[in-house]
């Protein structure tokens, strides 16, 4: 997938991207950081789709998505779980390219509707999602933290 700017490309992540994904995740989520070896293992296992965006071959952003089946629904369900673009690379269509890449692969899995959860005060993210065709819903998120 190519974004509006030349030199910008979004694609599914590979094990070779583990080091860059570790760096970007640290910028995005903070904390102790995820070792590249753990990220590489995660890329090979499970149901998660991980897309990266590059500018002239340098990874500048990533997004994650899941698809799942439930007896409650005829079709598989999809969710965008993470989306991050380095600050210097924003407002260049990169997030939209990542979303489009993830949407294409979710669609290949039979997903017809994709959900996104973001903070109600995260105006920039909301605008990005709306620009890509997502619509704000009135659902309410409830969270419970389970003990260690």
CA 124 to chain centre: 15
Cβ neighbours around 139 below 10 Å, total: 8
Task: Note whether residue 140 is domain-resident.
Answer: no
Task: Note whether residue 119 is domain-resident.
Answer: yes
Q: Which two tokens stand for residue 51?
A: 């897309």
Distance CA 99, CA 83 (A): 8
Q: Domain of 104?
A: 8-131
Angle of helix 123-131 relative to helix 94-108, nearest 10 degrees?
60
- Residue 24, C-beta contacts closer than 8 angstroms, at least 6 positions apart: 59, 60, 61, 62, 84, 86
Task: Note whether residue 102 is domain-resident.
Answer: yes
- DSSP reduced 3-state for 72: coil
What is the pTM assigned to this prediction? Answer: 0.88
List the CATH number of the domain containing 61. Answer: 3.40.630.30
Q: Please state the domain count of the chain.
A: 1
pLDDT tens for the 148 residues of the chain, in order: 555 556 889 999 999 999 999 999 999 988 788 899 999 999 988 789 999 999 999 999 999 999 999 999 899 999 999 999 999 999 999 999 999 999 999 999 999 999 999 888 899 999 999 999 999 988 877 788 798 7
Task: Note whether residue 30 is domain-resident.
Answer: yes
End-to-end Cα distance, the chain? 41
Distance CA 45, CA 14 (A): 12
Distance CA 55, CA 58 (A): 5
Task: Note whether residue 147 is domain-resident.
Answer: no
HSE-up of 75 (CA within 13 Å, CB side)?
Answer: 11
Nearest to 12 by CA among 100, 128, 113: 100
CA 9 to chain centre: 15
Task: Note whether residue 1 is domain-resident.
Answer: no
């Amino acid at each position: 997938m190519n974004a509006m700017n030349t030199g910008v490309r979004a694609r599914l992540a590979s094990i070779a991207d583990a080091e860059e994904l570790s760096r970007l995740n640290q910028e995005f989520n903070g904390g102790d950081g995820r070792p590249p070896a753990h990220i590489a293992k995660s890329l090979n296992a499970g149901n998660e789709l991980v897309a990266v965006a590059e500018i002239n071959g340098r990874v500048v952003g990533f997004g994650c998505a899941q698809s799942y089946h439930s007896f409650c629904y005829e079709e598989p369900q999809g969710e965008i779980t993470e989306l991050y673009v380095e600050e210097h690379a924003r407002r260049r269509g990169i997030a939209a390219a990542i979303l489009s890449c993830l949407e294409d692969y979710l669609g290949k899995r039979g997903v017809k509707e994709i959900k996104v959860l973001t903070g109600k005060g995260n105006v920039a993210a909301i605008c990005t999602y709306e620009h890509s065709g997502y619509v704000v819903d009135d659902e309410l998120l409830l969270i419970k933290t389970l003990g260690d």
